[in-house]
Amino acid sequence: YFSITVIREGDASFELEYVEKPEIVHPGEDFEITVRLRNMGFESAKSVLVEMNSPIEPTKEAILIDNTTNQHFTYVINSDKTVEYKFRLHASEDANTGSYPLTLKVSYFSGDSKEQKEQTFEFSIQIIKRNQAFIEIEDIDLEPSTIEPGDEFILRIKI
């Protein structure tokens, strides 16, 4: 007499292993974000759809995601395998200085399951407006006060 224990191996599950993004972005700039996901489960993940979204309402959109790269599809990601996805984005010209959240949504089927699973990961992008150079001239002094072509003179500018 002996017993057999049947254990269901863990479903597919993703870990956001790496995010490559610029430290800061200025309004009007294009930039890229690269993410690396690892399937930490024992099952393969199938029909994997990875989408990048900005949870901010569209009327206040500071970060625009390129329509051709806002989602990626991978047929199968086996256990302990990594995949990288690249997203192209644009900081709106009228974006204010601040931290803007982005959401990475991963939808997939684990093993032979018919039930779709979802995971979300959040991170942010810092947008900083460039300081525009501004010089104010307070005073101009010319010695002598009247000059003719060929004269030597001293010009003092107080900034």
Q: What is the pLDDT of residue 4?
A: 54
**In this predicted structure, what is the pLDDT of residue 142?**
85
- 120: CB partners within 8 A, 6+ apart: 103, 104, 105, 106
- Superfamily of domain 14-132 in the CATH hierarchy: Immunoglobulins (2.60.40.10)
Length of the chain: 159
pLDDT of residue 159: 79
The pTM of this model reads 0.72
pLDDT along the chain (159 residues), means of 10: 53 92 92 95 94 72 76 94 94 86 94 90 88 67 84 86
The per-residue pLDDT for 135 is: 64
Sorted by where each begins, the domain ranges of the chain are 14-132
pLDDT of residue 147: 83
